[in-house]
Structure 1
């Protein structure tokens, strides 16, 4: 009997347009309306109570009790919003955030967290506030605490409690977001209620543990490149938004409330005379009857540097190295400016401290000193953090774009300086007192600083006419506006990324002429490109040290031309590089034979023929079993693209990927190993598995294989699943892909190569030093990445295995080649980090061996 006679039900494949209606029920019945419309009743009840109590409060009534330590007053504070403008925001937060938490915790635990956690936070806040007032009056921490915790603090308790009941990715995100909100409010706003938002974090963690959530550990979970960029972008955004919070809502009592000076212009008008608040030289008359700012909107100029930081934070999120550099530079400038303020104001402040005998006045002086010092250290700490984790932003900038940005900013700076200097000299009589040349020069140096940030002690003359005011305010406004525009163009323009034009050209070459199964990986970021002169072919490569490592062989219509490889070797030789052709198949390796170089196997590609492959046969029993089980449990496969997925689906895929990365003991690898970022390409197809509850439980991504301007098949890239997905879900998904590609008439289905994994298990005596080194590296990485386990998994499908080769000129360069390969897979890897990594991997392998024994 032929193999095809063994029957097996085909995998159930749902298209994006039909899967949503049927995936929620194992039997294919329409989902229950109650499941679709699941009202968060407890959250809605909390929102209603908050609305009612707040409205009563606005009318001037007191609902319960009067004493600050009365329990009824503490309960009332949990449901009271004091400011009408904040009431809609709090209600939305309760309905949305509380509703999501209710789905995780349930109504009863939600109410326990809100009420019980809120009361615990209130009691802790009152006690700490009393100690703070008695012991630490000189530290600017927050306004005096005299009421209970507000609703926002109780919501943070709920969020932190719920974080103990979700997966690793959302647990980390919820906790980071809650910490960012609490710390931003406490440091920058520092109102009485902001102490409660800070205390809500540990209270929520403890309550989550008591209610049965996951225990809190001090272990730092490894993040993917994307998640690291999210955290760095959030940190940068906080340094941009925090000063605005301090300016608009700050109490003036926080550690970073010094940034609330942003909107206060030291120039004011008293009885028609321009003077400087806090200055001895240009002091305002205390007997004046008419006073007001010289320019009421001058404070908004100080928001322009913060806008640059916001643009940089968005660029960091997109992986742009130039954006990270801008964020570091701006934070260092803020640090330098704050140190200047500290140096200018410190003598007078210390003098005031020496002569004052009043305890309250001394406390105020100490708060100024501490606030300025801490305000200077924060941007320095942010700059250092961004520098330490700079490798998370891997997309460089095109030299032309970088030069244009630096030239634009430099020209704007020089133009501002010259215009201010010449203009002030020409209109010196429009200032009071009329400045000399030295005073003008010293003041012009500060013209790039927003005027509201100038210390009063540094101002030697003031503008008294309209022309003088224009020379005082406009230069910094124009300069920073130019910086904002230049940053947007530099950071957010796709064409300003390094090799952006080359990448588009290389992709066109690939789509016209095709290449090997891995050739689409050449379109990923991080590669440089060489285009063969006179023929339609290109090679993607990465230079690490003096080694140029190619990603596969040549691609394009003329990729088999023997002269292409020779020309690339000459190109590398002219630059002092040693070329290494990595992960080339037999056909590509044959075109390199005339070089006379050595070659060694580095992987094996698993290939299936969609037209003839079938799950029949004893050795493919696992595939059939998985297909049957998926049908019983209501698991469906869906062939789709990233752009066709909902926001919820994308979040679930990121969660699955982040959980996978968090379990690794080494950084997320790249080069020939893709991730979620590579899934977003419109040409990449996804086959996802959904369970009966419509959750995404597994995802695979498939990169196209081109030939003669057509897609002739797909190659497997990413393959990840939830830890609680059904056994065999990956076998089911790949079987579904085979059925799909057979229906589309594709001729190629590649399960790709397993890096550093080999079909042969023994090392023969003729293996050279390179192969022995790679096999040792494979054994070392196996506990972390499971390359051999992956290769064994692919054997379940009984594919054809084809060797993939590394072609190199000189075995004597083995150490440099090995380090270059590791740095291609793990960018930024140094020898010292590699040694620590190897030690950690060996320890992990011993632990797993001991556990297995």
Structure 2
């Protein structure tokens, strides 16, 4: 019963803050209602705790509602301090002033404020999420520096736009006092400051600066703890041991050894979840590593850690088996796309369906291109250094993209079992490389594709076909995982006879965005190998968190960069 009431109390606190946010917004857009609230606070009435009128007040209370919903301890402490101060003030004025006790509305305000504080203490155990230890210092620095900069700008605006008569204009101290009052108290009026008469848009602009500064301070004060414990050498060794035993279960398992990921272990040590924290999202990739019977323990440990630090839990690219287990732990699943897997023993270039592929393959081969297939461990260091140098030169942009399906360390000595494909032209010049990571003992999973832009079209397809045909004999591989195709089922079913209007519309939208993100072309490029399609899923706790998860995954994959200030205030790595 105690735990049940604790949850109810925490929920009441959050809903109280949401209601206060709504009232504040209503007071900002409904002028007469907002004036009534202000008149109450200036006369014989007082409104419940945190209820006022204005966008800035709504912003402040709204941030408190969000942080309390995420169960952040720092937000709880702030609410307790403010709530106790307001409750003490309300109690004091009710005791001292008899005329205030005559108004029932004041008793209602006192009761609601007391109920809010009581709920805070009753639900204290629910607010356990830890913030970063540097948050108080960072918030103080942001507040001081931001206030200095905003004050300077506001004072300059007041000076430039002041249209009071020259002989009556205030001195610098008066203009500075007005600017600070407008920033800090939001509702300062130029009627109270002699010699200050400025346009309304200046007041609005100063208020906007105050709201932005408040938002930055709150973001710094309540940011989640950053992941400060990346994978250790011991963790990597333990993960590789699990991959030796269970690596054949998931084609993306080897990517768990990325050293910019963190790892959390099951109590038995037989399974692990690897993740990274980006923008307050704990982003796990693919399936847990290790014995499936120990997966629940690792998932519980990961979710517990996410809850302790107010991270949003999410999984990118989980298989159906892992998605089912994640769903038992309260996460929802959404199909993200399909992974293309080629069974080398069943593949053939013969037949009418493969005619176009076969012709392109023969054209590149006649042009004199050749492919060499070997394990990384068999490549001499000097040759590997040359391959890495060329691969870096061919990279599209400065950012190394990939997180859930990319290793990001081509040529590392620890990856000796990875397979390298080197394609040379008729002159023996290196023109393209492909690298695959191990998938169990008889599988490969695509890691990296790079080619010289001046090389023959279709070179990558030629290399993949060479690997498929030679894989069994030269590197003992029976299955190959190629690229991941997002929303493959939409493109496949949306073009069929009888597809519904919603599916056709969704396909049209994706086709439009494919002009920039190559969604459909990637599906077409995979489909030509006639692969087996394995669905992959995104797992999340709440649908409302999907936009945030999408931004976090885009950052993790290298498709989105954020400004330095946002990285500093955020909770990502």
Normalising by structure 2, we get a TM-score of: 0.51
- Tell me if the contact between 2:265 and 2:301 (Cα under 8 Å) persists in the aligned partners: no
Q: In structure 1, how many angstroms separate the alpha carbons of the residues matched to 2:384 and 2:255? A: 22
- Tell me if the contact between 1:699 and 1:721 (Cα under 8 Å) persists in the aligned partners: yes
Q: Determine the structure 2 residue equivalent to 1:728.
A: 458
Q: In structure 2, how many angstroms separate the alpha carbons of the residues matched to 1:725 and 1:748? A: 28
> Does the residue aligned with 2:536 lie in a helix, a strand or coil?
strand
Q: Determine the structure 2 residue equivalent to 1:759.
A: 489
How much has 1:800 moved relative to structure 2?
1.6
In structure 2, do the counterparts of structure 1 residues 559 and 540 end up closer, same or farther at CA, with 3 Å as the change threshold? Answer: farther
How much has 1:625 moved relative to structure 2?
2.1
Q: Determine the structure 1 residue equivalent to 2:235.
A: 502
Q: In structure 1, how many angstroms separate the alpha carbons of the residues matched to 2:333 and 2:484? A: 17
Q: Determine the structure 2 residue equivalent to 1:513.
A: 246
Q: 2:533 aligns with which of 768, 788, 801?
A: 801
Q: Determine the structure 2 residue equivalent to 1:554.
A: 288
CA-to-aligned-CA distance 1:320-363 (integer Å, 9 cap, x gap): xxxxxxxxxxxxxxxxxxxxxxxxxxxxxxxxxxxxxxxxxxxx
Q: Determine the structure 1 residue equivalent to 2:308.
A: 574
Q: Determine the structure 2 residue equivalent to 1:527.
A: 261
Q: 1:738 aligns with which of 468, 472, 477?
A: 468
In structure 2, do the counterparts of structure 1 residues 567 and 627 end up closer, same or farther at CA, with 3 Å as the change threshold? Answer: same
CA-to-aligned-CA distance 1:754-777 (integer Å, 9 cap, x gap): 3x453313597889xxxx8x9989
Q: Determine the structure 2 residue equivalent to 1:694.
A: 428
> Does the residue aligned with 2:528 lie in a helix, a strand or coil?
helix
- Following superposition of structure 1 onto structure 2, how do residues 127-166 of structure 1 map, counting pairs within 5 Å? none
Q: Determine the structure 1 residue equivalent to 2:46.
A: none
Q: Determine the structure 1 residue equivalent to 2:54.
A: none
In structure 2, do the counterparts of structure 1 residues 795 and 543 end up closer, same or farther at CA, with 3 Å as the change threshold? Answer: same
How much has 1:609 moved relative to structure 2?
0.9
How much has 1:538 moved relative to structure 2?
0.8
Q: Determine the structure 2 residue equivalent to 1:588.
A: 322
- Following superposition of structure 1 onto structure 2, how do residues 259-274 of structure 1 map, counting pairs within 5 Å? none
In structure 2, do the counterparts of structure 1 residues 635 and 826 end up closer, same or farther at CA, with 3 Å as the change threshold? Answer: closer
- Tell me if the contact between 1:757 and 1:778 (Cα under 8 Å) persists in the aligned partners: no
In structure 2, do the counterparts of structure 1 residues 558 and 599 end up closer, same or farther at CA, with 3 Å as the change threshold? Answer: closer
Q: Determine the structure 2 residue equivalent to 1:830.
A: 562
Q: In structure 2, how many angstroms separate the alpha carbons of the residues matched to 1:566 and 1:676? A: 28
- Tell me if the contact between 1:623 and 1:728 (Cα under 8 Å) persists in the aligned partners: no
Q: In structure 1, how many angstroms separate the alpha carbons of the residues matched to 2:241 and 2:463? A: 31
CA-to-aligned-CA distance 1:546-565 (integer Å, 9 cap, x gap): 32110112111236744443
How much has 1:523 moved relative to structure 2?
0.7
Q: In structure 2, how many angstroms separate the alpha carbons of the residues matched to 1:630 and 1:820? A: 40
CA-to-aligned-CA distance 1:63-104 (integer Å, 9 cap, x gap): xxxxxxxxxxxxxxxxxxxxxxxxxxxxxxxxxxxxxxxxxx
Q: In structure 2, how many angstroms separate the alpha carbons of the residues matched to 1:776 and 1:655? A: 39
- Tell me if the contact between 2:227 and 2:276 (Cα under 8 Å) persists in the aligned partners: no
CA-to-aligned-CA distance 1:391-410 (integer Å, 9 cap, x gap): xxxxx9987xxxxxxxxxxx
In structure 2, do the counterparts of structure 1 residues 785 and 679 end up closer, same or farther at CA, with 3 Å as the change threshold? Answer: farther
Q: In structure 1, how many angstroms separate the alpha carbons of the residues matched to 2:470 and 2:260? A: 32
Structure 1 unaligned residues grouped into runs of 5+: 1-395, 400-496, 835-853
When Rg is computed on C-alpha atoms for both structures, the one with the higher figure is 1
- Tell me if the contact between 2:388 and 2:411 (Cα under 8 Å) persists in the aligned partners: no
> Does the residue aligned with 1:817 lie in a helix, a strand or coil?
helix
- Tell me if the contact between 2:391 and 2:433 (Cα under 8 Å) persists in the aligned partners: no
Q: Determine the structure 2 residue equivalent to 1:628.
A: 362
How much has 1:617 moved relative to structure 2?
2.2
- Tell me if the contact between 2:555 and 2:561 (Cα under 8 Å) persists in the aligned partners: yes
Structure 2 unaligned residues grouped into runs of 5+: 1-225, 567-573
How much has 1:632 moved relative to structure 2?
2.6
How much has 1:610 moved relative to structure 2?
1.1
In structure 2, do the counterparts of structure 1 residues 713 and 547 end up closer, same or farther at CA, with 3 Å as the change threshold? Answer: same
Normalising by structure 1, we get a TM-score of: 0.35
Q: 1:718 aligns with which of 441, 448, 452?
A: 448
Q: In structure 2, how many angstroms separate the alpha carbons of the residues matched to 1:575 and 1:659? A: 40
Q: In structure 1, how many angstroms separate the alpha carbons of the residues matched to 2:411 and 2:354? A: 29
In structure 2, do the counterparts of structure 1 residues 646 and 525 end up closer, same or farther at CA, with 3 Å as the change threshold? Answer: same
CA-to-aligned-CA distance 1:642-674 (integer Å, 9 cap, x gap): 454467754664465345434x5x843221353
How much has 1:592 moved relative to structure 2?
2.4
In structure 2, do the counterparts of structure 1 residues 798 and 650 end up closer, same or farther at CA, with 3 Å as the change threshold? Answer: same
Q: Determine the structure 2 residue equivalent to 1:234.
A: none
- Tell me if the contact between 1:703 and 1:717 (Cα under 8 Å) persists in the aligned partners: yes
> Does the residue aligned with 1:619 lie in a helix, a strand or coil?
helix
Q: In structure 1, how many angstroms separate the alpha carbons of the residues matched to 2:531 and 2:296? A: 30
- Tell me if the contact between 1:689 and 1:696 (Cα under 8 Å) persists in the aligned partners: yes
- Tell me if the contact between 1:584 and 1:806 (Cα under 8 Å) persists in the aligned partners: yes
Q: In structure 2, how many angstroms separate the alpha carbons of the residues matched to 1:764 and 1:531? A: 45
- CA-based RMSD of the aligned residues comes to 3.6
- List structure 1 runs of 4+ shifted beyond 6 angstroms: 396-399, 763-767, 774-779, 831-834
Q: Determine the structure 1 residue equivalent to 2:372.
A: 638
Q: In structure 2, how many angstroms separate the alpha carbons of the residues matched to 1:678 and 1:610? A: 25
Higher relative contact order (CA 8 A, sep 6+): 2
In structure 2, do the counterparts of structure 1 residues 824 and 572 end up closer, same or farther at CA, with 3 Å as the change threshold? Answer: same
- Following superposition of structure 1 onto structure 2, how do residues 252-401 of structure 1 map, counting pairs within 5 Å? none
- Tell me if the contact between 1:606 and 1:799 (Cα under 8 Å) persists in the aligned partners: yes
In structure 2, do the counterparts of structure 1 residues 742 and 813 end up closer, same or farther at CA, with 3 Å as the change threshold? Answer: same
- Tell me if the contact between 2:260 and 2:276 (Cα under 8 Å) persists in the aligned partners: yes
Q: 2:409 aligns with which of 677, 685, 699?
A: 677
- Tell me if the contact between 1:649 and 1:696 (Cα under 8 Å) persists in the aligned partners: no
Q: In structure 1, how many angstroms separate the alpha carbons of the residues matched to 2:313 and 2:228? A: 24
CA-to-aligned-CA distance 1:564-618 (integer Å, 9 cap, x gap): 4344323322332221121011222122232343211223100111111111222
Q: In structure 2, how many angstroms separate the alpha carbons of the residues matched to 1:620 and 1:776? A: 29
